[in-house]
Structure 1
Amino acid sequence: MLRVYAQLVGSVVLWGGTWISGRLLAQSMPSFSAALLRFVVASIFLLGWTWWRTGAIPKPPRHLGVISLLGATGIFAYNYFFFTGLASVPAGRAALIIATAPLVITLASPQGWRPQVIGGALVALTGAGTVLAHGVPWRLFSTGLTAGDLHILGCVVSWSAYSILNVRATRRMEPLTAVTWACVAGTVFLTLPALQSGVIEHALTATLLDWTNIVFLGVLATGVAFTWYVRGIQVVGAPRAGVFINLVPVCAVFLAWMLLGEPIDFSLVVGGILVLCGVRLANRH
């Protein structure tokens, strides 16, 4: 049991690290190039990992429509918004904004409009506004959002859509099979725009740091972290494992401060606490 909890903590650290790694990679190459290279690596790793575990490459699922939607939302759209947003938005701030995604998923559920959920939504939105407006949420009405902020909010929408679709997909196939073929489908969707943005040239001129980030994002943050998290759900259950997800933005803020030197100011702390409390309140049973 201790090993399982250690793996859940490891998943949180790896997912928190995606914001630092993504921030660095977004400074070196366009969004589609970075996303394609990440998921070529991730797809190869996941296919090999599944073969190693089961002795066979997973067959393409019959539900190609669902898999295509997963690839379009969670891989193609999310990673376009992810890398484009991180080109201008600090990693810690972006991670706290996307921490509102579980709230969007809850609001989209049949039980999403209970008073408890609405209250949690108001608290979380106040927190998100505090982060976005650097401590003065009502300032957003006069200054609006930056393009980078809008792209990170695009991450929230696309990841929420992916998560809702993923619930349906995993009723029909194994979670590892679903994420593997979603990665493959997303890689296919990314290929043409990545070629148009010069991905081959970017791959050939990428530095050692770029490739380190690509491998980290493709192998550790996608393949290993997902496998550990699914194993945690199977052993301790989804409610207990889900609590660990709330720690991802906290870990991201800490890593961004430690590795990138991003300041942790008052608005980030207060807004982050409000976001996490709101999401927790909305999802309490």
Structure 2
Amino acid sequence: MLLNLEQSLMSASKEKIFFVFMLIAMMFWGGSWVSSKVLTLYASAYIIAFWRFLIVFIGVVILLFVFKISIRFEKRIFKFILLAGLCNAIYSFLLFAGLNQADAGKSGVLTTTMTPIFAYILTHMYLCFKGKIHFLELPKNELFGLILALISGAFLLEIQSFSTLLNPFNVFFLLAAFDWAVMSLFTQKINLHPLAINFYVTLLALLCFSPCFFLQETYSVFNADWIFWLNLGFLAILSTIVGTGIYYLGIQYLGAFRANSFLLLVPLFALLISYVFLDEIPSLKTIFGSVLAIFAIYLINIYGKNLRKI
């Protein structure tokens, strides 16, 4: 009995530790929008993406070597790896290009809240196509969440007319959110260790930006000040490598649904950190839209039944 009690206390203690680490990971992801915005002041979108992927690739290779993780895969999943890598490259370009003309906080909120909503819609369509569910088969909480998501989107996009829907900010970040949602569906099909997936997806994205090797502009970043390298290091190492690593460990110890609930904190951290470091004051529409979107994601993804069928 004492042994069971001791094991329960150890398990509870380990859970609390992972709660803290998950909070740190979400803070890193929220802060990545600020770092990305700062980096756009120094170089073009494709140059920043190139250096980011190069640093991440080196870091992932080191981790694979240290933990002796195999990167072998079956031929049947090659197409999913290829498509996921392409989506990763497109997402990074859209993110950096969009941040040239948008606030980091608002961009972070729009992208991180719309991504799971797009993922849900795509998953629902996929299940309908496979005949696993009927098109109109939606639990009440998911239907309500989807309605809230549409309303929140209208606030976040600040839609006043059809023309405002097509402004550069909305186009860049809606496409980025949709692209990441598509990539998440591809990565679900890849049965590999998370670090191995990260290795291939990063490698393929790096290859997409490999022509930067031959551009003189690529090496102009070596003349940049410490602020550039600090933000690049934060984005590549803390946000992409460490943050993602913690997230995958969180899934292992806390379970997928509990771990994914922490993702709701990312847009809040994006707004807060943008306010602290960039003096960006979010509009009331952004705040109200983000609250609605977070609640919508909670209803759809955390309590969603349809998503558990794939």
Matched, 1:242 2:263: no
Which runs of 5 or more structure 1 residues have no equivalent in the other structure? Answer: none
1:161 correspondence with 2:182 = yes
1:68–1:186 CA contact under 8 A, matched in 2: no
1:93 maps to 106
Amino acid aligned to 2:295: C
Q: CA deviation at 1:164?
A: 0.5
CA distance in 2, matches of 1:162, 1:129: 24
Conservation of the 8 A alpha-carbon contact between 1:103 and 1:279: yes
Q: Match for residue 123 of structure 1?
A: 148
Change in 2 beyond 3 A, CA 1:142/1:219: closer
Corresponding residue for residue 204 of structure 2: 185
TM-superposed deviation, 1:19: 0.4
Which residue of structure 2 aligns with residue 147 of structure 1?
Answer: 168
- Return closer, same or farther for 1:201/1:175 CA change in 2, 3 Å cut-off: closer
Root mean square deviation, CA, Å: 1.9
Question: Alpha carbons of 1:161 and 1:198: their partners in 2 closer, same or farther (altered >3 Å)?
Answer: farther
Q: Which runs of 4+ in 1 moved over 6 A?
A: none
- Aligned mates of 1:144, 1:198 — CA distance in 2: 37
Letter of the 1:186 counterpart: A
User: Which sits farther off after the overlay, 2-11 or 156-165?
Assistant: 2-11
1:196 is displaced (CA, Å) by: 6.8
Q: Identity of counterpart residues, as a percentage?
A: 22
Question: Once the 2 structures are TM-superposed, how far is the Cα of residue 210 of structure 1 from its aligned partner?
Answer: 1.3
Is the 2:85–2:205 Cα contact (8 Å) retained in structure 1?
A: yes
| Corresponding position of 2:91 | 78
Letter paired with 1:251 = F
Q: Are residues 108 and 143 of structure 1, via their aligned partners in 2, closer, same or farther at CA, if it must alter by over 3 Å?
A: closer
Q: Counterpart in 1 of 2:195?
A: 176
Q: Distance in 1 between matches of 2:163 and 2:169?
A: 17
| Partner residue, 1:34 | 48
Given that residues 96 and 275 in structure 1 are in contact (C-alpha distance below 8 angstroms), is that contact kept between their aligned partners in structure 2?
no
Give per-residue Cα distances to partners, 1:149-203, cap 9 Å, x unaligned. Answer: 211111111100110111111xx211221112211111111112x3576542333
Matched, 1:48 2:62: yes
1:258 match? 276
Q: In 2, distance between residues paired with 1:61 and 1:214?
A: 31
Aligned equivalents of 1:140, 1:33: Cα separation in 2: 35
* Amino acid in structure 1 at the alignment position of 2:146: A
Counterpart Cα distance in 2 of 1:268 and 1:166: 30
**Alignment partners' CA distance in 2, 1:10 and 1:34:** 24
Give the distance between the partners of 1:209 and 1:24, measured in 2 at CA.
8
**Contact 2:81/2:186 (<8 A) preserved:** no
Q: Is the 8 A contact 2:106 2:282 kept in 1?
A: no
- C-alpha spacing 1:180/1:199, structure 2 compared with 1 (3 Å): farther
Distance 1:122 1:212, change over 3 A: same
Aligned amino acid, residue 7 of structure 1 = F
Q: CA 1:249–1:269 in structure 2 vs 1: closer, same or farther (change >3 Å)?
A: same
CA contact 2:25–2:244 (8 Å) conserved in 1? yes
In the alignment, residue 157 of structure 1 is paired with which amino acid? F
TM-score normalised by L of structure 2: 0.83
Contact 2:91 2:180 in 1 (8 A): yes
Aligned-partner Cα distance in 2 for 1:68–1:198: 29
**Cα deviation digits, residues 180-233 of structure 1 (max 9, x gap):** 2211111111112x3576542333333221111111111111111111111111
Letter paired with 1:90: D
Counterpart of 1:153 in structure 2: which amino acid? L
Distance (Å, rounded) in 2 between the aligned partners of 1:248 and 1:218: 17
- Is the CA contact 2:42–2:221 (under 8 Å) kept in the aligned structure 1? no
